[in-house]
Chains A and B, each alone.
Chain A
Amino acid sequence: MMGKIHIRHGRVIDPANEIDRIGSVYIADGKIASVAEEPAGFKADIVIDASNQIVCPGFIDLSVRLREPGHSRKATFKSETRAAASAGVTTMCLQPDTNPVIDTAAVAELIKELAEKANYPQVYPIAALTQKLEGNELSSMLALKEAGCIAVSNANQPIRNLLILRRAMEYAASHDLLLMFRPNDYWLGNNGCAHEGPVATRYGLPSIPDAAETIALDQCLELAELTRCRVHFGQISCKRSVIKIHQANKYGLNVSADVSIHQLHLTENDIKPFDSAYHVLPPFRTEADKQYLRQGLASGTISSICSDHQPHDIDAKLGAFPETDPGVSSLETLLPLMLKLVSQHAITMEQGIAALSEQPARILQLRSGALTPGFPADVCVFDPDMDWQINKQNWHSRGVNTPFWNQTFKGRVTHTLQAGKVIFCVPSYR
């Protein structure tokens, strides 16, 4: 039922409209009706009391894997969209490394269908930049765009050479497609699994230098200049990437960047000996890198935070560290870890919310990420002071691969609305 909803007595924070006040949000016909005066003749079907809670735009996640199609052993649209809803996430961009790869309109349509069936329609497929992500031939980007793909990306797969990347970027630019690029030089990465630093040296782990990221970033920046393709850098992990993006923007190149939430909290020193929960790509780097990423976020050089959600089955993480699959199941720690940044004074609450809503919407050129009247009513209501533990009872994702398992966090989503529909309500508030 898509009735009229009145969310009242909450602290409404809407960075895009510079709103931060105690008040109401009125929703009708799946859209934001008002955040100020009660619309004439408004009669709420549902009233949500948000006293002592924060009401903000629903979160937009720039990089997730939901493991369908192809890896439903790990997770499904049903399980992961449920996790997203419980985390206040109302829009997700799905990386193209599904099986089959998102390189045809048919697969893009299948994904839209899977999302509809899971009652969570706002999943945007990201199209493969090259066919089968093999880095050799261009995908049918226009057809993919028309089938609903929001951007193009080669996920974590290498492009054969820079000429192919150049042409892919030119072609993407011709159709005004955004390139989402995780910078990583495949050869320098050398099949590593940990940051090239003292910890990898001590444990004899194959390592990845930060130059693997910065060199690929440099090359892509040069090609962005040459091709005028819109580029968004995903999941950057080191200090010099922040500096390079800052400089590029200063000299007039319009590029954006995000960082995954766990990179803002963990470093190589946090890795428990051979604990595969800490196996991620890019790897956890140094304390200095972490501080630079935080500063980059505070200064706006890095505009967005993504979850980089990668749920795994237990077997994928059960083995010696280098042999396990990389990635963290991270949708459900997105908000509490963002709030931790606020409580540690790394960023303000407004910046944190903007990095999860207004900014990703801007990057994707979506009419959402704000509580602007007429926009889809994607809303997250959360209690910033509620303590909760990451455990089996509270967890929705099929993947339990998180280094934060059993930890207690402050800040929990109580209600999530997607296009005016309540898609999540925390049990204690029912």
Chain B
Amino acid sequence: MEQILFRHNRPGRSVSFAEYRSEGGFTALKTALKEMSTNEVQQSVIDSGLRGRGGAGFPTGKKWSFVPRNLPGPRWLICNCDEMEPGTYKDRILLEANPYSLVEGITLACYAIGVRHAFIFIRRGYEQAAINLRRAIAEANGAGFLGENILGSGFSCDIDVHVSAGRYICGEETALINALEGKRANPRAKPPFPAVKGLWGGPTVVNNVESLANIPYIISNGPEWFKATAATPEAAGMKLFCVSGHVVNPACFELPLGMPLGEIIEGPCGGMRQGSRFKACLPGGASTPYFTIEQWDVPMDFDPVAKAGSRLGTGGIVVFDQNTCMVAATLNLVRFYARESCGWCTPCREGLPFVVHLLEHIENGRGSEEHIDILREHVKHLNQAFCALAPGAMGPLDGLLQHFEDEVREHIATGKCPCRN
């Protein structure tokens, strides 16, 4: 299968600058700076159908087009590498293998949007990725692919790596901007959106690592080629799926968007472990409602997954077998979100611990029927939180109540967890 982002991968080490260049690296940048206008670069990305790989799936080129062109003062690009969604590790794998696609992608994006200075906001735990990126930026600078007057085009661009103190909420773009400014990582009210008023009040684009890393290949090979790499006509491009859980071969794979869930598990993942039967999975990271065997054939692309009642999210697939207690799994996830709440708004700060409290009761055999009603109330009311953290946290709970209500009721009726001995 053709690989895009993983095409330069070397076993056991990251690709070198020379290797990346010898395999066509930075030709996209050369082409763009020599032959394409900024609008053409942006149009290519729009035409490619590339949708944001960070979770929300917003079309990347469209996001760029929201940046006002005529405002005075600097505008900014931020690469969001605060990858903290449980079950998601694609950006780490990518950057540990190859930081150059991202550096080239950021430079191209900066060219398209007219950004002089970009930031990579990376979480503390990603030490090797940060080392790789700093090295890649230095090498790119040395070779004239970054800095002043890149390749004699008159376009200048710098990239800074900001290693953040790291919180889940920093993945939310406005909280990330606050954190980058040195403020508390609370999300900001929208509107104004960052594209209009973001970092230090300037127009700001925040893109995911994987989205940006794809740009060089879109520019080199054209939007049509990129689109065609997907598995279905509706989907566009390849996607990094990071699989974990009860499969034979849990790893990060670059697969065509739109590949059915079952094929991913049966194919690259090598099927379920010995003795394990597929019970459910998180299709796109910890904040997405569960898929069950009924969704086995759903094409893993943004719209089909949404149509099936969940979200493609980050593409972090967490597979559960028949021995998994879905109440315990959900409890584990919501506990994470309760801890990672920034504490700004009431539903998230107080509602999530309430949900944890109720799930603990049910899991420990002290649940009651009334608890299910209260949980449903929370699924509804936590949608009214300030940002998407609490609604995301309700994803798995929503899935639990939709697909596994019987299992929850069994906990309550028998006064114990049926999956525990």
Partners in one complex: no
Which residues of A approach B to under 8 Å, CB–CB? none
